[in-house]
Structure 1
Amino acid sequence: MLIYIKQWQQKVKPQPGANPLMVILSWLLFGMLLLIGLAMGLMLLLFGWILLLPLMWRKRRQMKQMWQFTKATREAQKQAQQQYQQQREHQRNRQDDGVIEGEYEVKDDDTRPRR
């Protein structure tokens, strides 16, 4: 790894006979390219955030609709269960109406012909 670092250092260092104006100009050009790249990256990031807002709004609306649907489904299920229980109680009460509770005594019936 050290070999690669030393090779890069040698490539980056200006040659001993290089024009100092060209070195300064190349560093300025490199810095400007970095700034332009950074500005473009920030613009793309901002553009992405702006485009993300309608998507988030749409997803939020879908989740709200799903929540309302789930709430309505639970309400309908509760109502159906209550109606079912009421029907069962009504049927039980109707069956119980035919039963007469109490004691009874069998008497001889005088209307029957005797032998």
Structure 2
Amino acid sequence: MSDTPSPSVTPPPLTVAASLVALQGLGLVGVAIVQVAELDDDRRALGLSNAGFYGAYGVLLLVAAWGLWRCSGWSRGPALLTQLIWLGLAWTVREHVVAAVALAVLALVVLAGILHPDSIESLNSEDQASP
């Protein structure tokens, strides 16, 4: 009996990371909805382009979260890149301490979950198993 987890079982750290990435995606989709709901006639193009960006990015994160939960190696890239962006955003809003700490902690927890040895093994085993 081996100690290595089966590739079909998502390790707990990766499950936590996938859940938080899904929350980030839902948050961005929520921002897109608010952008559309609060469209200003004078700045309609800007509002729609912002809503489109946040909506598309949110959907990408939701798909990446699903991929992480299924241990698909391709989903690691978008999730890691997003966390680095959120760490930069936390630094940018550092004068708003609560928001900065929340963004940074969220990003660091996701990074820890994705970079955990069990998560790396699970994501890599899926990559090696695919033809």
Give the TM-score normalised by the residue count of structure 2. 0.25
Higher relative contact order (CA closer than 8 Å, sequence separation 6+): 2
Structure whose CA Rg is larger: 1
Give the TM-score normalised by the residue count of structure 1. 0.28
